Chain A
Amino acid sequence: MFYNVYVMFSRGYLGEFEHVVLLALLRLEDRAYGVTVRREIQARTNREVSIGAVYATLDRLQAKGYVKSFRGEPTAERGGRSKRFFRITASGVTAVNRTQQALQRMTEGLEVVRSYS
């Protein structure tokens, strides 16, 4: 079991929520910041997500080099606070593809998956 966990991390596979967050960044392109990422995930997965969980995941992805962030201009509706925009990096896209392919291989030919989809 520990070996499997080690292999997953060493080959850059993503955790479930990391995967979802990176897909949200891909969908939002240059409009991705805390509010839009949270709303996108909530709208598409029908799952209430806390802003703290989104930021913790984005921070972790940034530490892994899958995401980069930059500050926008401060706005009045945010009490003069600036937005922190996020963008997926090339290695982030690679990690998403790798995880997608692994999931696809795992679900290939499974009747139970077909009956649920």
Chain B
Amino acid sequence: MTSQPDLQSLHPPRIATWLFTLFTPAEVTESIIGDLLEEFSALVIKSGLAFARGWYWRQTLRTIAHAGGNAVSSAPWLMLVTTIGGLWLIGFATRSSAHAMQTFLDAHRLYESHPNAYLFWSKFPLEIGRLIVCGLVGAIVALAGKRMEMIAVIAISLVQIALFLAAVVVVIARGEEWSHWFIVMLRWNGLCSVATVLGGAIVSTCRYRAATRSSAA
């Protein structure tokens, strides 16, 4: 006697479906997910749930890889401009906010009256501010790079990580003490890369929801 698959568990991996909504153009996402669901259901009956889920994940990863290759080959200049522009914007906004904060702290001579507060305000809020800037830049880049928003923001985060690693190599080559600096900066650079991708993911999700609403109306 063969056991019937539990109907409640016959849904494809949710994370894979979410990734599809991020990496496929909003106008076609619903059709693609519908197609995948149809094939997934057929595969569950034919080959079992585990096989069907593996197939679904393979489709997801191949689609993401294809979206990346397609973005680079079909619009290389747009990719280059959004990546360089995004990195410049992060650098500019971070420097400007650091300068503004320093000017404010110096004007109020906080380092004389409250040295601990001065140390706190001259460091921690700036790092938080940088994270917010990275998230906002991710969102702006996603808005500019329509139909390739996630590829553009991932490109920015990868370049950010690459620049950080290059800086680490330079510090080591100079023979300076680097381990403490590396741990602190790794945390903030990693978080900044995540914030950039998150900003793009929010825009992409909003686009998908708007497209779903308009097609349902």
What residues of chain A have their CB less than 8 Å away from a CB belonging to chain B? 33-35, 38, 50-53, 55-56, 59, 71, 77-79, 81-84
Contacts A82-B31, A83-B31, A84-B28; A35 near B38 (Cβ below 8 A): yes
Please give the number of chain B residues whose Cβ is less than 8 angstroms from any Cβ of chain A in the complex.
Answer: 24
From B58-66, B98-106, B130-138, B194-202, the one touching the partner chain is B58-66
A116 to chain B, nearest CB (A): 28
Q: Does any Cβ of A come within 8 Å of B143's Cβ?
A: no
At the interface, is chain A mostly helix, strand, loop or mixed?
A: helix
On whether the beta carbons of A84 and B66 are closer than 8 Å, the reply is no
Confirm or deny: B110 has a beta carbon within 8 angstroms of a beta carbon on chain A: no
Residues of B within 8 Å of A50, CB to CB, are 58-59, 62-63, 66
Task: Contact check, B37 vs A52: say whether CB atoms are below 8 A apart.
Answer: no
Interface of B is mostly: helix
**In the bound complex, what is the Cα–Cα distance between A83 and B37 (angstroms)?**
11
Smallest CB-CB separation from B11: which chain A residue? A79
Are B33's CB and A81's CB within 8 A? yes
Give bound CA distance, A81 to B29, whole Å.
10
Instruction: Tell me whether A52 and B31 are in contact (CB under 8 A).
Output: no
Does the CB pair A51–B34 fall under 8 Å?
Answer: no
Q: CB-CB contacts of B5-33 with A at 8 A, as 1s and 0s?
A: 00000000000000000011100101111
Closest B residue to A81 using CB positions: B34
Residues of B whose CB lies within 8 Å of any CB of A are 23-25, 28, 30-39, 41, 58-59, 62-64, 66-67, 70, 215
- Quick one: given A35-B39, A55-B28, are A78 and B34 in contact (CB under 8 Å)? yes
Q: Are B31 and A56 in contact (CB under 8 A)?
A: no
Shortest distance between the CB of A53 and any CB in chain B (Å): 5
C-alpha spacing A50/B66, complex, angstroms:
8
Within the assembled complex, what's the spacing in Å between the Cα atoms of A74 and B120? 57
* In the bound complex, CA of A33 to CA of B33 (Å): 13
Complex Cα distance, B11 from A45, in Å, reads 30
- Enumerate chain A residues within 8 angstroms of B64, measured Cβ to Cβ: 52
